[in-house]
Homo-oligomer: A and B are copies of this chain.
């Protein structure tokens, strides 16, 4: 790929300085230099820890969902559980922790479906998408002070239909549904 002459070359990272520090992300300004052209320019990048979200499948083939008020959009949002991965924490362990803390569900056979970049143009971090099977509601929830969630389950196909009808609009949730789709196709075939 790198040897393809039509592939643009990577720019070189230059000096960088922090413009803003917040509880959930930093904003940095970093200079990038084009490797061939005499071109250097500052770009703004949002640095945040990696995130995780969780496709939690119950034995009856329902997905665990949460509805909560989101401060970015200042509106309620229907989502799958998820959150911030702690420093040094494994994505699978983080996914199981967030699932338990937010919903009181635990599960087994957890594995990473994949990861995405929430916005490669502006953000450096990744969001890991984790699948948890055999999800059961059997633990106490542990909400942060600002957290208040409605916990619900819906049949998997209904969740895909909600996404198609624009009722599930969290970009990273839809990514998890895309990567879960082939797994679900196989599970469904087996269940019929």
The contact string, 1 if C-beta is below 8 Å from chain B, for chain A 62-76, is 000001111111111
Verify A73–B120 contact, CB threshold 8 A: yes
SS class, residues of chain A in contact with chain B: mixed
Binds B, one of A36-44, A95-103, A131-139: A36-44
Name the one of B9, B67, B120, B145 contacting A7, with C-beta atoms under 8 angstroms: B67
List, in ascending order, chain B residues with CB within 8 A of A45's CB.
Answer: 71-72
Q: B-contacting residues of A (Cβ < 8 Å)?
A: 1, 4, 6-11, 13, 19-20, 22-25, 27, 30, 32, 39, 41, 43-46, 67-77, 79, 114-124, 126-127, 145-146, 148-150, 163-164, 166, 169-172, 174-175, 177-179, 181-182
- B69 near A44: Cβ-Cβ < 8 Å: no
How many copies of the shown chain assemble into the complex?
A: 2
Contact check, A174 vs B72: say whether CB atoms are below 8 A apart: no
Chain B residues with CB below 8 A from A126, complex form: 169
Contact B68 A8, beta carbon cutoff 8 Å: yes
CB proximity of A14 to chain B, nearest CB, Å: 11
Query: Can you list the 3 inter-chain pairs with the closest CB atoms, starting with the nearest?
Result: A70-B120, A43-B71, A8-B148
